[in-house]
Homo-oligomer: A and B are copies of this chain.
């Protein structure tokens, strides 16, 4: 039953992981699984799995567990993965190009339709069949083509300004690899990938076991 109440982001962030594990089970021709079995594979509690899933509906059956294929498809629907998305890359540098070259995206229905950059040496080039355009032509492009997500892989200094423009043109999602926090109207959603922050978190973990250094007393 869909209730319309807001699902906590802690739950949402776990959905792709459920989806991945269910996909793996499906690949291994496993047709049914209980929350207990899945909890052991995923290293979380069975209770959490049942709670999470019941935010969206009762997908299981008492005494039986969950049908893997059915549950997989339900999560696919919840994540809205049952359609194609059109993405543009804004910033044709290293990471932008890497994402264009990442073939797995297409298999999942994520199609990159254009790349935008300011660098004259890049403009006009084609990367895996995707053309690089001058950033000046972005407004025109966004207004004439469906763009679900703009991938922001441009320098910190330009990211906010470009993001605000994209939001004003109605782009619903920004996948932000730039190292700034964006403040946008609620009609445009942002997901941040702050790689430097992620690496710093790892360095903390590496060092935490070791003897504390200078912040001890």
Q: Which residues of A contact B (CB under 8 A)?
A: 1-2, 4, 7, 12-13, 15-17, 19-20, 42-43, 56-57, 74, 77-81, 85, 94-95, 97-99, 101-102, 104, 108, 110, 148-149, 172-175, 179, 181, 189-191, 193-208, 212-217
18 contacts between A and B (CB under 8 A): A2-B216, A13-B197, A15-B200, A16-B196, A42-B181, A57-B215, A74-B215, A78-B215, A80-B213, A81-B200, A85-B203, A94-B102, A95-B98, A97-B98, A98-B98, A172-B206, A189-B206, A191-B199
Report yes or no: A204 in contact with B12, Cβ–Cβ below 8 A: yes
Of all chain B residues, which has the CB nearest A212? B2
Cβ contacts under 8 Å, A78 to chain B:
204, 215
Report yes or no: A102 in contact with B95, Cβ–Cβ below 8 A: yes
Q: How far is the CB of A118 from chain B (nearest CB, A)?
A: 17
